[in-house]
Structure 1
Amino acid sequence: MKKQHLISALTIAALVSVSGISIAQQASSVKSLRGTQVDEYVPLERNHRQDEKRFVRNYRQQPPLIPHAVAQYQIDLNANQCLACHDWSNAGDRGAPTLSMTHYLDRDYNQLDSIAGTRWFCNQCHVPQADAPALVGNAFQPSSGN
């Protein structure tokens, strides 16, 4: 009986290794969305980069885009580095735009002296602006401004 189990286990192991080789060969033909091989190095210059000019808003109530890099900013439950420049108490000294007064209203529309907890995570609405190519085509047209 033990011999039968050993033969069955060896047969299964052989089948798994043969199917694994077949899957690996098929994976070599996989192409990425970038149009290059999956393991090909793509320098950052070919990807997007931060743009110096400010982008216009495309629709009413669009949150402004962030005109600087924020990759190293800490925004979590303990800290929000955006407020070091953009909070109403610091913006004048730093030459940065101040937050909209809506950021200082709680959910019952009471005016607060500090940013509301519902507006604490800036990157849930605001994203860094970048002149990046679209991953998929679209026919979006900005609003007319009326």
Structure 2
Amino acid sequence: MEIDMKKVIVTLMVTLMTLMFNGSAIAGVTSLRGDSDLTDGADKYPMRKQVISQGGVDRSYKIQPPMIPHKIDKEKINLKINTCMKCHSEKTYKQKKAPKAGDSHYVSRDGKVLDTVSSRRYFCNQCHAPQLNADPIVNNQFEGAK
């Protein structure tokens, strides 16, 4: 008895597709939001004001990226401009009395030292976040380094 591999593969593909699109394949699985629609409660948490923290924000763990102690709602970071670098670049940080972007931000993934911020560190708010006057949405027992 010779097995026709094309028929086996086609049969498996049809079976998998049927299972994927059949709701009974995932019966019993529920969303963390329950029966609520994705947009339900979107207005539950109003926009919070950014807080200015004089002297910076203490880090909670050793290699935590520094938090942003000032407002950034008027800053722009896109493919053409990064207004953070107006104050935090190698050339301007002293006159602006701002912390300089770390040396690691000027290194390419190949280890080459660059004159400008590396593209992988260009979007500052991927790691650095402003502070808000808000209670945490989810409570936890995390305690930072003392």
Q: Normalising by the residue count of structure 1, what TM-score does the alignment of the two structures yield?
A: 0.64
Deviation of 1:52 (Å): 2.6
Q: What is the letter of the counterpart of residue 86 of structure 2?
A: A
Do structure 1's residue 128 and structure 2's residue 106 form an aligned pair?
Answer: no
Q: Could you report, residue by residue, the CA deviation over 1:81-127 in whole angstroms, capped at 9, with x for unpaired residues? A: 00011000111111111011000000011111111111110011001
Q: Which structure 1 residue ranges, 4+ long, deviate > 4 Å from structure 2? A: 30-34
2:17 is aligned to none
Q: Specify every segment of 5 or more residues in structure 2 that has no aligned partner in the other structure, as ranges.
A: 1-39
Partner of 2:117: 115
Structure 2 CA distance for aligned equivalents of residues 58 and 137 of structure 1: 16
Task: Give the root-mean-square deviation of aligned CA atoms.
Answer: 2.0
The question of whether the paired residues in 2 share the 8 Å contact of 1:51 and 1:131 is answered with: no
- Equivalent residue number for residue 10 of structure 2: none
Deviation for aligned residue 1:33: 4.4
Q: Which runs of 5+ in 1 are unaligned?
A: 1-29, 35-41
**Which residue in the other structure is 2:99 paired with?**
97
Q: Which residue of 2 aligns with 1:106?
A: 108
How far is the alpha carbon of 1:48 from its aligned partner? Answer: 4.8
- In the alignment, residue 53 of structure 2 is paired with which amino acid? E
Q: Tell me the equivalent position of 2:19.
A: none
Q: 1:55 aligns with which of 54, 57, 60?
A: 57
Task: Measure, in 2, the Cα distance between the counterparts of 1:82 and 1:108.
Answer: 24
Q: Is the 8 A contact 1:49 1:132 kept in 2?
A: no
Count of aligned pairs: 105
For the residues of structure 1 that align with 2:89 and 2:102, how far apart are their CA atoms? 10
1:48 touches 1:133 (CA, 8 Å); kept in 2?
A: no
Given that 2:50 and 2:130 are in contact with CA atoms closer than 8 Å, whether structure 1 keeps it comes out as: no
Structure 2 letter corresponding to 1:93? Q
Mapped contact 2:52–2:71 kept (Cα < 8 A): no
Q: Aligned residues: percent identity? A: 33
**Structure index of larger Rg:** 1
